[in-house]
Amino acid sequence: MSDVKHHPPSTVPIRVMTYNVHACVGTDGRLDVERIATVIRMYSPDIVALQELDVARRRSGGSHQANLIAEHLGMQGHFHPAWHPLPEEQYGDAILTPWPFQLIKGGKLPTAASPLAFEPRGALWITVKKGNAVVQVMNTHLGLSNRERRNQVDALLSEEWLSHPDCRKPAIFCGDLNDIPVSRIYRRLSARLTDVQRVGSFFRARPTFPSRLPLLRLDYIFVSPDVSVESVEIGRVPPARVASDHLPLIADLQVPVLQLGAQDASQQSHDLFPKGTGAPLLEGDSS
């Protein structure tokens, strides 16, 4: 009989995707929620951060796009409306996952006086539990004006978001930053977090926009220093080239497990994800 003891792993693999879905309207002009879900399913992410989703908008047939995508994938999550184009319409971002999660915050980001700052922006923060790992996940879509983006990154790096006492490591920050890697906002974020496309052999970062002929890096996944990056991929499957004007960005990560005693870990897991509550529905909040 072997005396070898098998210790539990110190990290948990998590695949994360960020994807600007362009209200599920493809480069062929066709509105197709199922096509977006098909692209996501082909990469089997544990966590998917989505930007540019419609809820109850006339142009999208009044559907709840986040809920429809989640239903196709067998996932749950939360939608945050960054903008109400009309009182009954919503437009914003979501995070989906098949794993237990807890909503921490959905909120507005500051704007600036600029003709380009015509669309309110927001951010969404949840915690996701996979195995013995609990990870903080944030998703955002920044504005079109330089000054607006600077104000928004100031807010995201503040104690309201990434510097909040509850935003303990490990952390994943995703989104469409509407800016390139030589920008001031990129430098500020990359000084704090690790860009998954700037790690080891992935240093030759690849663009995600526009989807038919990608030229620009606008979509990013950043991680805290305790998260290991195993691989990075741009979603170039044929459906992705027409499903949206952006390509998805996917990263395979190793996330450290909770470093607590068994009793403390059990209690923390219970506090974060109380039995019987399940994950909340994809309801927009009032922010």
The pair of three-digit structure tokens given for residue 197, joined into one six-digit string? 């496309």
**Which of the two residues, 31 and 263, has the higher pLDDT score?**
31
Q: Does residue 95 contact residue 105 with C-beta atoms inside 8 Å?
A: no
**155-166 mean pLDDT:** 96
**218-223 mean pLDDT:** 98
Instruction: Give the model confidence (pLDDT) of 76-85 as tens digits.
Output: 999 999 999 9
**183-204 mean pLDDT:** 89
| Percent with pLDDT over 90 in the chain | 80
**pLDDT above 50 (res 216):** yes
Q: Check residue 115 and give its pLDDT.
A: 83
Euclidean distance between the first and the last CA atom of the chain, given in angstroms as a whole number: 61
Least confident residue range of 48-62, 135-149, 271-285: 271-285
Q: Mark out the alpha helices in 20-127 (DSSP H runs).
A: 33-43, 65-73
**pLDDT above 80 (res 173):** yes
Identify the band that residue 7 occupies on the pLDDT scale cut at 50, 70 and 90: low
Strands (E), the chain: 11-20, 47-55, 76-83, 90-97, 101-108, 122-130, 133-141, 171-176, 194-195, 219-223, 228-234, 249-256
Question: Strands 90-97 and 47-55, how do they pair?
Answer: antiparallel
Q: How far apart are CA 2 and CA 283, in angstroms?
A: 52
The pair of three-digit structure tokens given for residue 72, joined into one six-digit string? 């196709």
**pLDDT above 80 (res 101):** yes
Phi, psi at residue 223, to the nearest 5°? -135, 155
**pLDDT above 90 (res 159):** yes
Residue type at position 45? P
**216-232 mean pLDDT:** 97
Identify the band that residue 70 occupies on the pLDDT scale cut at 50, 70 and 90: very high
Q: Check residue 200 and give its pLDDT.
A: 77
Q: Does residue 285 contact residue 270 with C-beta atoms inside 8 Å?
A: no
Whole-prediction pTM: 0.89
Q: Give domain limits for the chain.
A: 11-256
Largest CA distance in the chain: 74
The pair of three-digit structure tokens given for residue 149, joined into one six-digit string? 């983006």
**84-103 mean pLDDT:** 96
Cα-to-chain-centroid distance, residue 179: 17
**247-254 mean pLDDT:** 98
**Burial status of residue 277 (CB atoms within 10 A of its CB: 0-12, 13-18, 19 or more):** exposed
**221-244 mean pLDDT:** 97
Q: What CATH class is the domain 11-256?
A: alpha beta
**112-117 mean pLDDT:** 82
**pLDDT above 50 (res 266):** no
**pLDDT above 50 (res 286):** no
